[in-house]
Amino acid sequence: MKRTLSLLMAVLMLTAVVLTGCSSGGTTSGAASSSDASSASSEAESESSAAEENDLLAQIKEKGTITVAMEGTWAPWTYHDADDNLVGYDVEVAQNIAKKLGVEVNFVEGEWDGLLAGLDDGRYDIMVNGVGVTEERAEKYNFSTPYAYNRTAVIVRGDYDEINSMEDLEGKTTANTISSTYATQAEAHGATVTGVDDLNQTIELLLSGRIDATLNAEVVFADYVKEHPEANIKIATFSDEVEKVAIPIRKGDDTATLLAAVNDALKEMSEDGTLTALSEKYFGTDISKE
């Protein structure tokens, strides 16, 4: 009997030990699971915060301003009026984009090549300056959807009759900002290009006979003649292709959301008639549609 009681007590004690161990092990495992979940959640929040800090659109919204690069000397795209106010088609396009993003716009003016360099190193968020889309530029920048379309005109002096087609540029001298699409087109057709800073300098070279021609947008020629009706210049011919104008943004994972937001803004401006109204205001015709 005593032996039986002893065996029974031993079994009960062993069972208690086993149950206690199971209970203890279960509690430890649950604590570990809770800790792992908390750690994973913390890491996810940290990664999300880091991604937001590196996102250019998020930075722009946090600052409350978007920095836009443009020349300020290329009417009617971007120029100064009689009261020295910065105005033009691109100025108002940029202002509308900023408004749709819910921020203010900070314009920075400069020469063409410097604007592209500033875009490269992050000094400017976007460049709104009648930038034509080319294969070479598309390798370096992400472009928005086009918001304007250009025909390129070959402009000469009123008494100059040696150019009647793009092929006639072979062996001729022209002037444009060196990295512009107009300089590229002139060189592609065999012209020697002189680098200049702006349109006024180009026209001075043309009228003085130091160059044979210059290439520029048809609408820019029309605007210049409207402002300078006495200018002895004319359009000799047009390029065959229609140039697409868009907004370049430097490539990178941190700029994808900004590009999408800019495209959304341009789409809204196209659908609600804003781009058409601005085109007619500054160019006298709708250049927002191909």
| Alpha-carbon distance values, 288 to 103, 160, 218 (Å) | 24, 32, 14
- Please check whether residue 147 is in contact with residue 164, taking contact to mean a CB–CB distance below 8 angstroms: no
Residue 48 has pLDDT above 70, yes or no: no
* Domain shared by 162 and 235, yes or no: yes
* Domain shared by 278 and 258, yes or no: yes
The verdict on residue 290 lying in a domain is no
pLDDT of residue 5: 42
- Tokens linked to 102: 């819910």
The mean pLDDT of the chain is: 86
Read off the pLDDT of residues 9-18 as tens digits, 9 standing for 90 and up: 444 454 444 4
36 CB contacts (<8 Å, ≥6 apart)?
none
The verdict on residue 25 lying in a domain is no
* Domain shared by 231 and 155, yes or no: yes
* Domain shared by 139 and 279, yes or no: yes
For residue 162, give the DSSP letter: S
Residue 24 has pLDDT above 60, yes or no: no
Average pLDDT over residues 248-261: 96
Residue 170 has pLDDT above 90, yes or no: yes
The verdict on residue 276 lying in a domain is yes
Closest of 244, 67, 54 to residue 138, by C-alpha: 244
* Domain shared by 227 and 177, yes or no: yes
The verdict on residue 19 lying in a domain is no
pLDDT band for position 99 (cuts 50, 70, 90):
very high
The verdict on residue 119 lying in a domain is yes
- Tokens linked to 145: 């959807």
The verdict on residue 69 lying in a domain is yes
Q: Is 283 helix (H, G, I), strand (E, B) or coil?
A: helix
Residue 258's domain spans which residues? 56-147+246-283
For residue 133, give the DSSP letter: P
* Domain shared by 231 and 275, yes or no: no
Q: Annotate 186-224 with b (16+ C-beta within 10 A) or e (fewer).
A: beebebebbebeebeebbebbeeeebbbbbbbbbbbbbb
Q: How many beta carbons lie within 10 A of that of residue 73, not counting itself?
A: 18
* Domain shared by 81 and 109, yes or no: yes
**How many separate domains does the chain show?**
2
* Domain shared by 233 and 263, yes or no: no
pLDDT band for position 19 (cuts 50, 70, 90):
very low
213 CB contacts (<8 Å, ≥6 apart)?
154, 155, 156, 160, 163, 169, 172, 173, 174, 186, 191, 206, 236
* Domain shared by 251 and 234, yes or no: no
| Alpha-carbon distance values, 174 to 11, 14, 193, 195, 202 (Å) | 105, 101, 5, 9, 9
Closest of 163, 209, 217, 216 to residue 190, by C-alpha: 163
* Domain shared by 127 and 202, yes or no: no
Query: Can you count the helices (H) and strands (E) in the chain?
Result: 10, 12
96 CB contacts (<8 Å, ≥6 apart)?
265, 269, 274
| CA–CA dist 168, 190 (Å, integer) | 9
Read off the pLDDT of residues 176-230 as tens digits, 9 standing for 90 and up: 988 788 999 999 999 999 999 888 899 999 999 999 999 998 888 988 988 899 9
* Domain shared by 130 and 154, yes or no: no
- Tokens linked to 42: 């913390």
* Domain shared by 118 and 231, yes or no: no
Residue 237 has pLDDT above 70, yes or no: yes
For residue 254, give the DSSP letter: G
Residue 203's CATH number: 3.40.190.10
Read off the pLDDT of residues 133-158 as tens digits, 9 standing for 90 and up: 999 999 999 999 999 998 899 999 99
The verdict on residue 206 lying in a domain is yes
Q: Which residues make beta-bridge pairs with 70? A: 109
Cα of 36 vs its chain's centroid, Å: 42
pLDDT of residue 39: 54
| CA–CA dist 272, 270 (Å, integer) | 6
The verdict on residue 50 lying in a domain is no
